């Protein structure tokens, strides 16, 4: 099924195309009129303050959420037109590093990393073990972690195990949801370096949702900034910046500069007005 769906020229077609995307929960409009094209091999950071829809966007990209309006095309396929079996085949082509790594608590490290291989392939156990060891080595983890449970690992180690698991099926697109959240600055930079190494060693497209401008500056080729839809003017696009890491530093949009430099700006006033103070 996967091969049947790969019909576009990989050298010219974008891997992801999002058109007029909108997501609404009851009366709460989270995403509106989002248009975004991502080329193969790009590393794109999606930034923006809490509540602007970054994680919701990730969930629509892997079809865990259905858009209220618009379309998401992965490798030329409109995900909304695929049945569950076809969606499963497409999702095998994704890797996902969840914010808290989302490891299975009852499984060992080795079992966690092997899980996608056992679930989606018929590889012999010897091959599964070889791949597990290879990917753990890529993220700097030795054999002595294989029998440990997630509760026995530090936050940084859990993230690295999660990255190893995300890569075992050799995905074409990997999505990172706040990969450095909760980590100290040194371990956060270790994760940044591992994301760079992953891109060098594998032909992968990466989308990184992050609040961390250090991560965006170090890892991304391109930065997309979303702004909360309820604070936009009626016809204003939700993507308020799309460009390189150098270009974002020179942006004249005050909202972009406040986020990049971590400044409250007018937000305190807005919050007081919202709360009726």
Residues in the chain, overall count = 277
Q: Which residues of 253-262 are buried (b: 16+ CB within 10 A; e: fewer)?
A: eebbbebbee
Helix (H) or strand (E) holding 239, with range, is strand 239-243
pLDDT for residue 4: 38
**DSSP per position, 91-135:** HTTEEEE-TT----TTS-HHHHHHHHHHHH----HHHHHHHHHHH
Torsion angle defined by CA atoms of residues 216, 161, 139 and 111, in that order, rounded to the nearest 10 degrees: -150
- Give strand ranges (E) for 26-103: 28-38, 43-47, 69-74, 77-78, 94-97
Q: How far is 51 from 72, CA to CA, in rounded Å?
A: 21
pLDDT for residue 276: 53
Q: What is the dotted CATH code of the domain comprising 2-93+176-244?
A: 3.40.50.300
Contact (Cβ atoms closer than 8 angstroms) between residue 21 and residue 9 = no
Three-state secondary-structure class, residue 226: strand
Report the pLDDT averaged over residues 214-234: 93
- The residue ranges of every structural domain in the chain are 2-93+176-244, 102-170
pLDDT for residue 253: 93
Q: How far is CA 156 from the centre of its chain?
A: 17
- In sequence order, the 6+-apart residues with CB closer than 8 A to the CB of 25 are none
Dihedral angle sign, alpha carbons of residues 211, 213, 216, 218: negative
The pTM assigned to this predicted structure is 0.86
pLDDT band at 12 (very low <50, low <70, confident <90, very high): low
Report the pLDDT averaged over residues 112-134: 94
Q: Which residues of 148-161 are buried (b: 16+ CB within 10 A; e: fewer)?
A: eebeebeebbbbbb
Q: Token pair 């209220």 is at which residue? A: 68
pLDDT band at 275 (very low <50, low <70, confident <90, very high): low
Q: Token pair 């679930």 is at which residue? A: 119
- Terminal Cα distance for the chain, rounded: 57
pLDDT for residue 10: 47
Q: Token pair 């997309």 is at which residue? A: 224
pLDDT for residue 155: 87
pLDDT tens-digit series, residues 56-89 = 999 999 888 999 999 999 999 999 999 988 988 8
């Amino acid at each position: 099924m996967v091969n049947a769906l790969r019909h576009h020229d990989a050298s010219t077609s974008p891997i992801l195309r999002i058109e007029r995307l909108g997501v609404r929960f009851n009366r709460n409009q989270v995403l509106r009129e989002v248009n975004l094209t991502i080329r193969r091999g790009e590393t794109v950071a999606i930034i923006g303050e809490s509540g602007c829809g970054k994680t919701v966007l990730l969930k629509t990209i892997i079809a865990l959420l259905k858009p209220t309006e618009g379309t998401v095309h992965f490798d030329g396929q409109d995900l909304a037109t695929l049945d569950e079996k076809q969606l499963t085949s497409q999702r095998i082509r994704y890797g996902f590093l969840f914010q808290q790594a989302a490891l299975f608590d009852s499984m060992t490290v080795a079992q966690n990393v092997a899980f996608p291989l056992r679930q989606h392939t018929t590889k012999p156990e010897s091959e599964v073990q070889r791949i597990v060891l290879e990917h753990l080595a890529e993220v700097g983890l030795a054999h002595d972690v294989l029998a440990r449970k997630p509760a026995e690992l530090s936050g940084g180690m859990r993230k690295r195990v999660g990255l190893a698991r995300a890569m075992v099926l050799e995905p074409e697109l990997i999505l990172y949801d706040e990969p450095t959240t909760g980590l100290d600055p040194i371990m956060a930079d270790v994760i940044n370096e591992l994301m760079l190494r992953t891109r060098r060693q594998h032909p992968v497209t990466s989308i990184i949702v992050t609040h961390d401008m250090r991560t965006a500056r170090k890892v991304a080729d391109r930065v997309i900034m979303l702004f909360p839809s309820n604070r936009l003017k009626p016809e204003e696009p939700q993507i308020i910046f799309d460009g390189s890491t150098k270009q974002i530093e020179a942006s004249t949009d005050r909202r972009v500069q406040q986020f990049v430099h971590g400044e409250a700006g007018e937000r305190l006033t807005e919050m007081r007005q919202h709360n009726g103070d």
